[in-house]
Amino acid sequence: MTFLEPSYYVQPIGYKRQTQHLVIASDQRRLHQLNGTKYQEAVGSIGEGLQADNSSSRILRTSEEITYSDKTVVEVIRNIYGVHNNHSHSTTIRVGFFEGFRNFWTYSLIFKPPPSPRTCECGAFRADVRLEKNPAKTGQFELLFIPQDVGFIHLTNRVWNTILSSASSSQKRIYATFEGANKLKLLTLDPPFREKVFHWSWTHHSQSDFPMPYGFYLANKTARPTGEKMRGKNWSENKTALVAWMSTWAVTSWQREKFAKDLRRYLPLNFFGQKYRKCRRNSKECEQTIRKYKFYLALENSCCSEYITEKFWRTLAWDIVPVVFGAPRKDYERLAPPNSFIHADDFDSIEDLANYIKFLDKNDDEYNKYFRWKEDGGEVIINYPRLENKPVDHHIPPANFFYSCSAVCRVGKRYLDEDTNSDVGLNSSQNSFFDPNVNWWCGSCTQCGNHQWIRTYN
C-alpha cells in the first residue's frame, strides 16, 4: 500500500520543532500496511526522505525506499507547513482573523467564538493568533486574514477605512476563502479600495499567492506496483447502477437540477440528497452506495476558472467516471488525470450525452479507458477540509484550512522571508495588491457552456 492512498485526505497533525519532523496521518487515523509493518502515524522528515526519529520509531525508511509519489506528497505537505526558513526561534508574529461582521458563526465545530487565542509553533518562529471583531483593533497584527464566505456581510467603505487607518505600513492583509469566486461577488471591493486592501490571496485557484485546491492529481513518472496490479482490470465489474447525482441546497448560477432531470429522461439516473434519497455526505455508508455506480454527475454550481471542487476528486478516488460541467474544459485537461472525465459541453445535445454514456455502459473496453491513468500509477489527493466533522482535537482547524496553524505558518514564513530578502521590503509603498475582480478570480465567472443547448440552462 502506498504512503497515502488516493482517497485519503492529507492531514498533517503536527510539527516537532526539536527534531524537525512533520507528523502525518490520514483523515480517519486508519492503520496502514507498509513492508509488513502496521502503523497509525507516519513521521515525515522535512529532508529528502521519510524517516522516523528515535522517539517515534513506528517506521524507518531511507531515501532510497521513497517512491516518486511519496516524495511529491511530502513536498506538498512541507510547502503547506512552510517549515524551511532561517529565522530566529525567538521571532514571534501576531496574526489576526477579522470576524467582525458575520451574520452567523460558521465554524463552531472548529474553535470557540472570538477571540479564541492560540499559539502556533512554526518551527523557526512562533505565531500568536486570535480572532478579532473590532476593526479599530486590527492594526495590532502583522498578518491580518480577512475571511470571505457566505456567512460574511459586505463591509462598508467606512469599515475598510477604519481597518486601513489602524494598520501599520508593514501589515499584510490576506483575502482568504474556500468558496468559489461566484459566491463572493457581493463581497467585492468598491473601486477606491481595490488597490489598497488585500496584499495576498488564499483561494483554490493556482494563481493565488497561497493556492489550496480542493484536490489535485499526482502523475507518476514510473508506474508503481499498485498500478501494475490494476492493469487488465474490468472497472465496471460489481457496478450495478448507471448514473448518480447528489443534490445540494447551494445557490447556482445555472439550472443544474433541471439539467439532471432532463438527462434522466434518457437514461437511469438516481438522485441523492435532502430532497431525494438520503445519503449523508462524507459518510462511509454514502461512499459504499455511490461506488456501485458507473458514472457520477460532478456538476459545479458556477462556471469559473479552475472551480473544480471535491465532488470531482472524490468521484475519481471512488473509481467512478465523472460527468462534469462548470469550469472550462481546458482547466480539467490541465488539472485532472488524462482522459478521466466526460465534459457535458463536448456534445451537441443532452440526448447525445446520454447516448454516449449508454454506449460506454455496453462497452467495457471503452469504459475502462477512463481508468488508464490509475493503471499508469497516478493518484488523486482530496484536499477539502471536512468542517462538518470535529477534528481530532476540538477547536483545532483542519490542517488544509486557512484558519489552521499550518496555514498561519505558511503565510508567516513568506512574511518573514519578504522582510529579510526583498529589496523593496514590507514597509515600502511599492507593495502589490490583490483585486478580487481580477480576470482569473471573480472576473472569470462567465456564462456557462459554449453549445447553445447547454446555454439554455443559464
Lowest average pLDDT, out of 73-82, 258-267, 318-327, goes to 73-82
Query: Among the three residues 81, 102, 120, which one is the final residue of a domain in this structure?
Result: 81
Classify residue 456: in a domain, yes or no. Answer: no
Count structural domains, the chain: 3
DSSP, res 63: G
Considering the domain architecture, whether residues 335 and 312 belong to the same structural domain is answered as: yes
Q: CA 270, CA 247: separation in Å to the nearest integer? A: 10
Rg (CA), the chain: 23
* Strand-pair category, 118-121 with 126-132: antiparallel
AA letter at 283: S
Spatial separation of the C-alpha atoms in residues 279 and 247, rounded to whole Å: 10
Please give the C-alpha separations between residue 344 and each of 211, 281, 302, 328, in angstroms, as whole numbers.
27, 24, 14, 11
* Domain final position from 57, 81, 105: 81
113 close to 105: Cβ distance less than 8 angstroms = yes
Q: Is the pLDDT of residue 161 over 60?
A: yes
Range of the domain at 191: 92-212+391-442
Those residues whose C-beta lies under 8 Å from the C-beta of residue 350, and which sit 6 or more positions away, are 259, 262, 263, 266, 344, 453, 454
In a domain, 378, yes or no: yes
| pLDDT at residue 244 greater than cutoff 80 | yes
Tens of pLDDT, residues 401-426? 899 999 999 999 999 998 766 554 44
Contact present, 294 and 361 (Cβ < 8 Å): yes
State how far the Cα of 342 lies from the Cα of 353, in Å rounded to an integer. Answer: 9
3-state secondary structure of 132: strand
Any domain includes 437 = yes
Say whether both 235 and 336 belong to one domain: yes
Q: Quick one: cell of 413?
A: 514564513
Average pLDDT, the chain: 78
What SS3 string covers 84-119?
Answer: CCCCCCCCEEEEEEECCCECCCCCCCCCCCCCCCEE
Q: Are both 101 and 207 inside the same structural domain?
A: yes
Task: Give which of 333, 321, 328, 329 is closest to 372, Cα–Cα.
Answer: 321
**8 Å CB contact between 260 and 245:** yes
Q: By percentage, how much of the chain surpasses pLDDT 90?
A: 54
178 with 155, same domain: the answer is yes
Same domain, 162 and 246: no
How many Cα atoms sit within 13 Å of 205 on the Cβ side? 26
Residue 21's DSSP bridge partners are 16, 45
C-alpha cell at 73: 506528497
Distance CA(42)–CA(50), nearest Å, equals: 8
Pairing of strands 143-147, 172-176: parallel
Mean pLDDT of 145-154: 82
Helix and strand numbers, DSSP H then E, in the chain = 12, 18
Chain segment 75-104, per-residue pLDDT in tens: 444 454 444 444 455 799 999 999 887 765
Residue 270 lies in a domain: yes
Q: What is the Cα–Cα distance from 2 to 14, expressed in whole angstroms?
A: 21
361 plus 220 within the same structural domain: yes
For the stretch 346-363, pLDDT in tens is: 999 999 999 999 999 999
C-beta of residue 216 within 8 angstroms of C-beta of residue 72: no
CATH number for 362: 3.40.50.11660
- 274 burial (CB, 10 Å; 0-12 / 13-18 / 19+) is exposed
- Pairing relation of β-strands 215-218 and 11-16? unpaired
Claim to verify: residue 149 and residue 230 sit in the same structural domain = no
- Judgement on whether residues 64 and 207 belong to the same structural domain of the protein: no
Is the same domain home to 44 and 30?
A: yes
Reading the block at residue 112, the C-alpha cell is 470557540
d(Cα 95, Cα 97) in Å, to the nearest integer? Answer: 7
Does residue 31 share a domain with residue 122?
no
Residues 307 and 194 in one domain: no
- How far does Cα 405 stand from its chain's mean position? 16
Q: Residue 290 falls within a domain, yes or no?
A: yes
> How far apart are alpha carbons 76 and 157 in whole angstroms?
38
Q: What region does 112 belong to: left with phi over 0, alpha with psi -120 to 50, or beta?
A: beta
Domain annotation covers residue 295:
yes
User: Does residue 455 lie within any of the structural domains?
Assistant: no
Asked whether the predicted pLDDT for residue 13 surpasses 70, the reply is no
Q: What is the pLDDT of residue 263?
A: 98
Cell (9 digits) for 245:
447525482
Per-residue pLDDT reduced to its tens digit, 200-231: 999 999 999 999 999 999 987 544 555 556 77
In a domain, 350, yes or no: yes
Does residue 423 share a domain with residue 370? Answer: no
For the stretch 292-302, pLDDT in tens is 999 999 999 99
Per-residue pLDDT tens digits for 361-409 = 999 999 999 999 999 889 999 987 665 555 555 567 777 789 999 999 9
pLDDT of residue 432: 87
Question: Closest by alpha carbon to 295, among 343, 332, 329?
Answer: 343
pLDDT over 90 (residue 114) = no
